[in-house]
Structure 1
Amino acid sequence: MKYKSCIRDLALTLLILAVSSAAMIFLQKAFDMRALAPMVFVMAVFLVSLTTRGYLYGIAASLAGVLAVNFAFTFPYFELSFSAPENVFSGIAMLFVAVMTSTLTTNIKKQERMRAENEKEKVRANLLRAVSHDLRTPLTAIYGACSTVAENYDQLEREQKLKLLHEVCADAEWLNRMVENLLSVTRIDSGQVSVQKSPTVLEELVDAVLVKFRKHYPGQPVEAQIPEAFIIIPMDSILIEQVIINLLENAVFHAAGMTRLVLRVSARGSRAVFEVSDDGCGIPAERLESLFSGAGERDAPPADSSRHSMGIGLSVCATIIRAHGGELRAESAVNRGTTFRFALEMEEDAHEQQ
């Protein structure tokens, strides 16, 4: 891997220097603009430093640029000559500027990488906090049901035992699926794998979401609005289901005063736009910017303590949507409700029929 990286950086350096030389030869022959040679090669050094790793290639490009300017674009032409004081001073000045440009550019890239790593660590920590209760809640429910059966085995009716055991199975199944999805998202976020997309019929996706959601929240009506047209969207349907379910249940737990919950999908150009809207208490404006980092997720007490969340956290939802080539956004106003929105590309045949 390191060998391939070195070959790539060397090829980029040679290509940029070759293009710069060709451009300078053209400018010289067409417009007799030899004086631009130092500027052109300093720009080449900047591009080399920007596209390669480390200091070596930028400094090597600086030396090559000084020699190229002296050899081809400084009198006497086509020979290296540092006997004239002006050639020496111009060469030193160009080398200094080029090396400084390379050093500064490399330092900026290094700082940017460090900032990105720090941000990734911050997101990872926020992610752990965001999903901790999602993992803890089904475990608590499993422990509670098992303890009840174990401590009251003779007192419980057969139907009560079966009900508790079914709840244990459901919670265990949910926990297993959520852990698998979290592992998938972690690999996606680290760049180890990409999402496995397959053509998914929109109507079937929405039906699956509503069935699962209503199973856990039978008392919460959801108004579904989807286009009449037959729409197919390439996606990882399991992960997108998780995202939509999580957005719906966020409204259940956190949108105090909600009287209406809407899942809306519309076709706009080549993209299918998904929206989950409620008319609840809304989110303060100062929290919207950090909502998907994990630190700014709504932390109001859940309306139902039996299960804090059947979802995987807004920060994880945002990661899933980014992996699908979209972006999760939120619009909200206090006491006027919240809308979460993301868009996914439809298949060509689907949006051509719109």
Structure 2
Amino acid sequence: MSKTMNRIYCTFSKAVGFLPPVPRNLLISLLFLCIAYVVSSILLGHTGAENNSALVFVLAVVFISFLTDGYAYGIAASLVGGFCINYYFMFPYRAFSLSYAGYPVAMVSMVLISSVVCALTSRVKLQAMEAIKREQNTKDLYELNARLNEEKNAIQLEADREAIRGNILRAVSHDLRTPLTAISGAATVLLAADEVKNSEKNLSLVQDIKSDADSLIAMVENLLSITKIRDGTMPLNKQEEMLEEVAGDALLTIRRRFPSYHISLDLSEDILYLPMEPMLIKQVMVNLLENAIRHSGDHDHIRLHLFRQDDWAVVEVRDRGKGISPEVRQAVQSGRPLSARLSDDSSRGMGIGLSVCQSIIKAHNGFFAAGNDPEGGAVFRFGLPMEETNDE
């Protein structure tokens, strides 16, 4: 029975769903009262004085109560139905009369029965609607829980993969660092030997060996740093330091490794004294200067500039070389990690070096940007807060 009533409810809802609530409820009430009148008239024509018009109108009130909103329309229909039965289908026909014995009781009983049926039907409809709503809510919660579980599993799987990759990188980096340091040290010793100095070919080969070994050592250090920062195993031990001293140490390191390159240092008039992890900030400066040396093609115009901008201590590395590609610039601006593939010379690890810079500056709650100078060359800039800020 409930399925039949629900089917009827859905059919009428689709048929008159375009109407506003009040006109729709009035139309449904009028329609079923007219149907009850027609059916009672047919029954009266076939049965004479005896008919079941009261039952027909009660059935109409049931449908009206089920298909309309609230109690008002069903109760109003029961009152109208009681009047119609008395007026059209009880003797004297087409006249309203309560003078005959039993008429008042019959009419009042019919109205009361219709009202009770109306109330019960409305309550059943309300319970059915609440049950449907609870079922839909349960379905939505189940689907949401399933999606959350899928996302959780995907995140966990990605985290496990990242952990495995980080462990592999750390293991490989540690294993590579010792022989690379030995190679660089041996090349340094050979460069001091007279046999090597007296042969331009041997000198060039040993210099290349030392340069490549130093580059690989720097790449290994970058890999170790980026894996430790990203998995949280390298806590920041910030302390108040002068940025000028850190820049001086970075410049000395670069000049020892690349003595033939001219790099200028421009200092701010203000003393830039701020909280930082000095070794990591030095690594950022060294990476940016090394990228400028290796990728710009500029030997004489590389500049390291320190200045204050509002509440930021800003470090800027400029060159007059060929600039950076739009892909690298967009990757830096969006904050996503760079891959070595983005470098024109991927063996030198430009992408890894910039990713390390991004991670270190992000850990310091700073900003990192890159672009091209309109007059030519690339500009890399990062800023550190002058005062300590808490991570959100």
- Structure 2 length-normalised TM: 0.50
Q: Deviations over 1:172-197 (max 9, x none)?
A: 9x94x976664454232013453221
Give the Cα separation in 2 of the matches to 1:314 and 1:134: 21
Give the Cα separation in 2 of the matches to 1:293 and 1:90: 53
1:269 maps to 2:314:
no
Q: CA deviation at 1:345?
A: 0.8
Which residue does 2:124 correspond to in 1? 84
Q: CA deviation at 1:124?
A: 9.0
Q: CA deviation at 1:253?
A: 0.5
| Cα pair 1:329 1:340 within 8 Å, conserved | yes
Distance 1:87 1:285, change over 3 A: same
**Stretch of structure 1 that moved more, 310-319 or 265-274:** 310-319
Which residue does 1:255 correspond to in 2? 296
Which residue does 2:325 correspond to in 1? 284
Q: How many residues align?
A: 248
* Counterpart pick for 2:355 among 302, 315, 329: 315
* Counterpart pick for 1:298 among 339, 343, 346: 343
Give the Cα separation in 1 of the matches to 2:258 and 2:231: 34
| Cα pair 2:244 2:306 within 8 Å, conserved | no
1:191 maps to 2:232:
yes
The SS at the match of 2:379 is strand
Distance 1:296 1:125, change over 3 A: farther
Q: Deviations over 1:85-128 (max 9, x none)?
A: 31332243145136415633762684387379659958997999
Give the Cα separation in 1 of the matches to 2:376 and 2:308: 25
Letter in 2 for 1:100: D
The SS at the match of 1:240 is helix
Q: CA deviation at 1:263?
A: 1.2
Q: Residues 214-225 of structure 1 correspond to what in structure 2 (within 5 A)?
A: 214-225=255-266
Q: CA deviation at 1:344?
A: 0.8
| Cα pair 1:200 1:234 within 8 Å, conserved | yes
Give the Cα separation in 1 of the matches to 2:353 and 2:168: 9
Q: Deviations over 1:298-341 (max 9, x none)?
A: 23388xxxxx5899622122111111112322113799211111
1:236 maps to 2:277:
yes
Distance 1:300 1:107, change over 3 A: same
Which residue does 2:6 correspond to in 1? none
Letter in 1 for 2:279: I
Give the Cα separation in 1 of the matches to 2:298 and 2:378: 12
The SS at the match of 2:343 is coil
Letter in 1 for 2:344: D
Which residue does 2:382 correspond to in 1? 342
Give the Cα separation in 1 of the matches to 2:139 and 2:274: 50
Give the Cα separation in 2 of the matches to 1:275 and 1:228: 15
Letter in 2 for 1:343: G
The SS at the match of 1:218 is coil
**Stretch of structure 1 that moved more, 185-194 or 134-143:** 134-143
| Cα pair 1:205 1:237 within 8 Å, conserved | yes
Structure 1 unpaired stretches of 5+: 1-81, 158-163, 303-307, 349-354
Give the Cα separation in 2 of the matches to 1:147 and 1:216: 13
Q: Residues 1-354 of structure 1 correspond to what in structure 2 (within 5 A)?
A: 84-97=124-137, 99-100=139-140, 103-104=143-144, 107=147, 110-111=150-151, 114=154, 118=158, 139=179, 142-143=182-183, 146=186, 175=217, 182-257=223-298, 259-290=300-331, 292-300=337-345, 313-332=353-372, 336-347=376-387
Q: Could you tell me the percent identity over the aligned residues?
A: 28
Give the Cα separation in 1 of the matches to 2:358 and 2:156: 17
> What RMSD, in angstroms, separates the aligned Cα atoms of the two structures?
4.9
Distance 1:206 1:334, change over 3 A: same
Letter in 2 for 1:89: M
Q: CA deviation at 1:285?
A: 1.1
Higher helix share: 2
Letter in 2 for 1:283: I
Structure 2 unpaired stretches of 5+: 1-121, 198-205
| Cα pair 1:194 1:323 within 8 Å, conserved | no
Q: CA deviation at 1:246?
A: 0.6
Distance 1:313 1:256, change over 3 A: same
Which residue does 1:68 correspond to in 2? none
The SS at the match of 1:331 is strand
- Structure 1 length-normalised TM: 0.54
Q: Deviations over 1:263-301 (max 9, x none)?
A: 122212211122111110112213433464224442338
Larger Rg: 2
The SS at the match of 1:293 is coil
The SS at the match of 1:220 is coil
Give the Cα separation in 2 of the matches to 1:274 and 1:112: 40
The SS at the match of 1:84 is helix
